[in-house]
Structure 1
Amino acid sequence: MSKDGQHYSLSGRLALAFLLIAAMVFAMMGAFLYTSLSAELQRRDDIEIEGKLSQFLQLTHDAGTVAGVRKAQVVFREILLSHPGVYLAVLDKTGTSIAQHSEAPGASLSSLYESQRAERVAYTCTLGPIGSARCVFANETLPSGEPVRILLARTASDRESLLRSYRLDVWAAAAVGSALVGLLGYLVARRGLTPVKSIGRQASRIEADNLSERLNIGRGPVELNDIAVSVNRMLDRLERAFVRLSQFSSDLAHDMRTPLANVISSSQITLSKTRSVEEYEALVDSNIEECERLQRMIENMLFLARTDNAKQGLKVSSLDIGSELRRLASYFQGLADESGHNLVIEGGGAVRADTTMFRRAVSNLVSNALDHAAPGSTIVLKATAQPRAMSISVTNSGKVIPPIHLDNIFDRFYRVDPARHESGKNSGLGLAIVKSIMELHRGNVEVESGDGRTTFTLTFPKSAAIASLEESTV
């Protein structure tokens, strides 16, 4: 599409480009051929008059005297009859014509007597009715001691006539050739762009209900194959995102329906008959708990929506990991004591991250570990420095996560244990939030589970990536 919003034909533009290029090439070739022909014709004229000059020099010398030269004019004319367009003049020392041959009335070579040109070297001259010509002269001393000058001129009229006709032929050939190249270029471009139209038709058939369909150009050109591969990869991502969105919508409706159904059903049952104050208070407490659950779910969804749309600004600063982990351990110590778990901090170091998000990501992992750790086991929070990153891991002992769930565990509303689906505490968004936080920091989160231990690891990039991150969030 052009700048003014109007569509244009790629085939037409390619054909126009072919036509212009062909016109330029043909014009340059024509100019070269024209120049070459002109130079060749001029060279032949020069050879002709230079050869005749040598012949007339010999005849003049044989004449012996000026009077003898005048008597030899008949011989001179007979020789030049077979050379139309060649003019002769023999001049004495005063520039007076002794002998002359001219096909054009009034054409005289006497005006060339004072020419300051080199002898026996042809040059371009202009002679009255003759017009442009090639001239040559030489001086000769007769056996009688009398000096004479012999002048020869070859008219350029026939040469110019030939070149004019040739020039017209060159222009006509260039025009016709350019038009043919443009037409053939259009046909070739139109046929060459057929796979593009095929891709367009295939893409237009892909809708939300058939996202599994992919572009296929068969044995098409490599360039279009690269485009088709890129589009197919994009469709793969769109299909996965669409499936996740559909699943997300279904899970969201189900998770929000459960607390609402609890509120409605408990309220209806309580209001079905007169209740005591204690029963009404219990109803209000239950409804508040369910509303708080909905509130947490909505807040988590809003957080994920902001991170997905890159609207969540980061306030990156240097954090002491040991201090932050001890702070979080102190916060969760009460819950750990109730469940009989022990929190252990190992390692330390510094990391550049958003303080609030860092605490939220690690808190979600610690909360998850407390929910799934075996009673009385130890939960280890460990910081490890790497060459280009800093990692924080949370490890708990207990039931491992089956391998089939590891690829999906960070998806929204995904739960490894379906029995916990109705839990008011577990909304299935905690690990999804952790993943979003790490993506915002240009890091990553990984999980390993086996041999009775499960470890979640957060990897934060060091200075170079963080510097770029800070610039992008200013």
Structure 2
Amino acid sequence: MAGRSLTTTLALAFAGTTIAVFALVGSVLYFALEKQVTQQDDDEIVLAARHTRRLANELRSADDVRAHADRLISQVLGNATLSMAVRDTNNQMLLSHNIDGGATSMIEPLVATQRVPQSARITETAIAEARRDSRVPVRGLAADASLADGSTVTIVIARDMSDRWLLLDHYRDRLYGAGFAGMLLAFLMSWMLVHESLRPLRQLAAHAAQVTVDRLHERMKIDNAPRELAAVIASLNAMLERLAGGFQRMSQYTADLAHDMRTPLANLRGSNEVALARPRSAEDYQAVLESNLEECERLSRMIESVLFLARAEHPQFATHMKTVDTHEELKRVADYFEGLADDAGVQVHVTGAGEVRADPELFRRAVSNLLANAIRHTPRGREIRLSAEPGAHAVRVTVANQGSRIDPSALERVFDRFYRADPARHHAPAGPASTGLGLAIVRTIMELHGGSAYAESDEASTRFILRFPKT
């Protein structure tokens, strides 16, 4: 199942971010406006209540309140949303302004909530909010005022907030509309911008689709590629370079393996055909079987080497590292090859000492492969030296033999699989026939140890050097 479009996902993310920002800013503006409007209305209510109380304090009795009703009501005239009511201690209405039949539903909650006594100053904290007819919000306050005859009246100043309701509702609707329109605009613009920004990525995908087994030489080339994709393009090109090199090496390796396995198989088939061409003696058949056995052993060694290389390249190949005394291990390998060296007419000497962190079995196998190779290519009467030399950062294990010089151009390839610097050397009589994989195994073993293997050759000797990192 195809995944979501990256362009659409990013565009939705930008649109969501935009609407979130709009919602935050709009909420802040809305509540700021609501607070400012409420503050202005509260100031107007408090001012009207203070003036009305001051005028009431100058009156002598409740009758004077009725008689000077116009003077008191003048404090709220000019604002149709302000209402006033004055009641005596018996809850008798002395005067009212802008209060319809729902007076009780509007006044009673304000009086019951909090009434400012004559001795207290009227402030915004005395303002309460009620509902007229259970729907329209009303803000106001109730305050006592003392008349000259000692009686007390209650002044109620209230403001109908329905106009503010409508104002804030319209403002909120505009915020919603602007936010939705901004979200759509942000989505469309983000989609177009992201779609255009991802064009190099689509070009990269198109180039990658052209890379096949037959076109591993193709490389990613994007004109005016953004810096963020430059590292990706470089990594992909490096990966293609490695794949092309690996595929080429694998093809060459397969061809070399087929070629090298064809020789012993052809020898087996040829010797059997010759033996079966006519009746032969038991001695002749025995000789044929011995020859076939040698070829089978050669095939077995080749297959074993190939399997080792395949296992060693696996990431989970297990090694058992420990501290190894190089002198003792070199001496052990030299003793093992003593009989083969005597048959070849060469002498093996061990010198030097040192310790390395290595797998003992793999260490012996690497040195054994180098020593077997040296025995095959050392003329009779010469010597081979195995030495270990500790250095500042690494321990060098060297297998040096006196023999023909290897061409400098071949030194870099002697560790390649099935490579032979001189085909004629393959037929050297000393030791078992080479499979062409011994030095490749040596290099693989050194890579497993984090070291390296290389060769040096001059007229005096040829030296194969294993460089182990110092512990």
Which range, TM-score by smaller chain? 0.7 to 0.9
Counterpart position of 1:470:
none
1:8 maps to which residue? Answer: 4
1:412 is matched with 417
Q: Do the aligned residues in 1 keep the contact of 2:115 with 2:143 (CA within 8 Å)?
A: no
Q: Deviations over 1:360-419 (max 9, x none)?
A: 111011122233446544432223445676543323344444343333222100111133
Q: Which residue number in structure 1 is paired with residue 443 of structure 2?
A: 435
Shift of 1:106: 3.5
TM-score, normalised to structure 2, is 0.85
User: Are 2:80 and 2:98, in contact at CA under 8 Å, matched by a contact in 1?
Assistant: no
Q: SS where residue 434 of structure 2 aligns?
A: coil
Residue identity (%):
39
- Whether 1:72 aligns to 2:38 is no
Q: Does 1:297 align with 2:302?
A: yes
Q: 1:381 to 1:58 in 2, by over 3 A?
A: same
| TM-superposition CA deviations, 1:13-69 (whole Å, max 9, x none) | 223323333333322222222211211110111122223234334443555654333
Conserved 8 A contact 2:111-2:141: no
Q: Which residue does 1:232 correspond to in 2?
A: 237
1:116 maps to 114
In structure 1, the partner of 2:263 is: 258
Deviation at 1:451, TM superposition (A): 6.7
1:25 corresponds to 2:21: yes
- Inter-CA distance 384–95: structure 2 relative to 1 (3 Å threshold): farther
Q: Pick from 357, 361, 365: which aligns with 2:362? A: 357
Q: Which residue matches 1:88? A: 84
Stretch deviating more after TM superposition (350-359 or 206-215): 350-359
Tell me the distance in 2 between the aligned counterparts of 1:453 and 1:44. 105
Give the aligned residue type for 1:43. Q
Q: Does the 8 A contact of 2:87 with 2:154 survive in 1?
A: yes
Q: Does 1:134 align with 2:139?
A: yes
Q: Structure 1 289/128 Cα, relative in aligned 2: closer, same or farther at 3 Å? A: closer
Counterparts of 1:44 and 1:67, CA distance in 2? 34
Is contact 1:97–1:110 with CA below 8 Å preserved after alignment?
Answer: no
CA deviation map 1:158-209 (0-9, x unaligned) = 1112222222332233233223323333333322222222222111111111
TM-score under structure 1 normalisation? Answer: 0.85
| Runs of 4+ displaced beyond 6 Å | none
- Whole-Å Cα distance in 2 between the matches of residues 128 and 449 of structure 1? 109
**What is the alpha-carbon distance in structure 2 between the residues aligned to residue 103 and residue 113 of structure 1?**
15
Q: 1:289 to 1:20 in 2, by over 3 A?
A: same
Residue of structure 1 equivalent to 2:464: 456
Superposition CA RMSD, Å: 3.1
Give the Cα separation in 2 of the matches to 1:429 and 1:54.
108
Distance in 2 between the 1:368 and 1:320 partners?
23
SS at match of 1:80: coil
What is the aligned length? 459
1:291-440 aligned within 5 A: 291-310=296-315, 313-373=318-378, 376-385=381-390, 390-420=395-425, 425-440=433-448
- Three-state SS of the structure 2 residue aligned to 1:395 is strand
- Shift of the 31–331 alpha-carbon distance from structure 1 to 2, 3 Å rule, reads same
- 3-state secondary structure, aligned to 2:100: coil
Alignment partners' CA distance in 1, 2:16 and 2:29: 20
From 172, 177, 180, give the equivalent of 1:172. Answer: 177
Flag the 1:239–1:421 CA change in 2: closer, same or farther, 3 A.
Answer: farther
